[in-house]
Amino acid sequence: MDSLIDVMQGRKSFLLLFLLSVLIAFRGEQPAAYAAERGVASVPETIVVSAVSNPGSIRIVFRIAEEYIQKASVILRENAVEVYFQSPVAFSAPLANNKNTGEPFELLRGVFLVPKREKCIIVINGLVDISATKLFPSKLVVDAYTAPVALSEEESPLQEGAVSGPGALYRKPGPLSFVIDAGHGGYDSGIRGAHFMEKDITLAVAMELAAALVRNGCAASLTRSRDSFLSIRDRIRRISRHAPDGVVSIHVSSRNEFTFYTRPVPAEASTGRSEIVENLIKSIAVTKVAARNVRGLFALDTRSESFPVPLITRVNVPAFIIEIPNPESFSYDRETKENLAEALAEAVCPDSKPGGTPRPLTGEDLSGGT
């Protein structure tokens, strides 16, 4: 009997050891399998960053596995470029010492890189524009431009025959023309949410606004009509070629509100009325009407700020940026987009109907609060 008990206990011990070894193996493989199922590497992929300075620009090269390059998005911020890799990454030395600390590392003089878990932020003094290219094999190239955007003479928005003056909102007779700029596009997705990307919302609203302007008897063009990347330089050139009466650039806010941006008051404002000052006055007037319209329609807060964005400071026509509410708390169904477009169109091109004549802005428009 004792020998039988010993055998049974031996078998139990063997079975327990076997089950324990299987459990250990399973626990060791589970995170990797789970990560693979989610498309995320269990061990962060190492990324190599290099930079070189050229006259008027800085080239930054990222080398990492191809799947990271294809998923990467590049976003232009104020004096910064944000590169988002969608999955955890590890930076090679000497950046490894800065990983996840949030402290900047100086790549070049005046160029600082801040490593994060799934992205990095590159701060560049005097940044005005970027372009990004995904190359094979496994290379993302970001060109950051620090020189002013130069327009050739034929691309200049100062077209012969343009009319300006303190009493006129519009520069030429006939149908008014506007350029609607849908922010971001292509691999520059802008703000990302659980169920949206900024580039898609801006394009949808831009197309609705263009259609509303056409219904009001105006001409309207888009800087982009599909999901494609355009640098700020490209957008300015497209706007300049159209020589429009005004420009509206659409972006998405991180908050549930409308924000309107116009250029800052230029230095020459203290010495007299220049064309730039006239355009600024008209831009502010239009944003006041637009803010009043959307505030009454959607019962949301509106803000107005000045901001030196190249897209509105380097075009010689009235121009402003509107940040529309975040889709996480604001529904962009078809009816909402149409109503928003109509409210903006009425501000941009007031009282304009097919066969009618747009009215100039009045003192009431200029003094209306936001």
Specify if 22 maps to a domain.
no
Task: Give Cβ neighbours of residue 150 (< 8 Å, ≥ 6 apart).
Answer: none
The pLDDT of residue 35 is above 70: no
- Mean pLDDT score, 278-286: 89
Domain count, the chain: 2
What pLDDT is attached to residue 74? 85
The DSSP result for 224-281, as a single string, is -SSS----HHHHHHHHHHH--SEEEEEEE-SSSSEEEEEPPPPGGGGT---HHHHHHH
Cα–Cα distance for residue pair 110/54, rounded to 1 Å: 13
Same domain, 139 and 158: no
* Single residue among 145, 168, 200 that ends a domain in this structure: 145
| Range 185-200 average pLDDT | 87
Q: What distance in Å separates the CA atoms of residue 56 and residue 59, rounded to the nearest whole number?
A: 10
| pLDDT tens digits along 113-143 | 888 888 888 988 778 778 788 877 788 888 8
**Domain range for residue 363?**
153-367
Same domain, 169 and 282: yes
Residues 268 and 236 in one domain: yes
Contacts of 129 (CB under 8 A, 6+ apart): 76, 144, 145, 149, 231, 232, 233, 310
169 & 280 share domain: yes
Q: Is residue 222 located within the same domain as residue 337?
A: yes
Do residue 88 and residue 138 come from a single domain?
Answer: yes
Of 124, 145, 166, at which residue does a domain stop? 145
Q: Are residues 189 and 94 in the same domain?
A: no
Asked, for residue 249, whether it belongs to a domain, the answer is: yes
Residue 5 has pLDDT above 50, yes or no: no
Judge whether 108 lies within some domain: yes
* Paired strand residues for 146: none
> Residue 309: which pLDDT band, with cuts at 50, 70 and 90?
confident
- Among residues 87, 117, 145, the one where a domain terminates is 145
Based on the domain organization, do 307 and 234 belong to the same domain? yes
Query: Among 95-99, 172-176, 204-208, 230-234, where is mean pLDDT lowest?
Result: 95-99
The 219-222 sheet, strands edge to edge: 219-222, 177-182, 246-252, 319-324, 258-262, 302-306
For residue 322, pLDDT over 80 is answered with yes
Q: How far is CA 43 from CA 40, 46, 182, 210, 315, in A?
A: 9, 9, 38, 47, 48
pLDDT surpassing 70 at residue 105: yes
Any idea what the CATH number is for the domain that residue 127 is in? 2.60.40.790
Pair (195, 316) in one structural domain: yes
| 257 and 240 both lie in a single domain | yes
Give pLDDT tens digits for 222-281.
999 999 888 888 899 899 988 899 999 999 998 999 999 999 877 655 555 578 888 888
pLDDT tens for 209-223 read 999 999 988 999 999
Question: Both 93 and 161 in a single domain?
Answer: no
Across 30-41, average pLDDT: 44
Question: Does residue 192 share a domain with residue 281?
Answer: yes
Higher per-residue confidence, 80 vs 182: 182
Query: In Å, how far are 90, 152, 157, 179 from 240, measured between CA atoms?
Result: 43, 10, 5, 10
**CATH number for the domain that contains residue 238:** 3.40.630.40
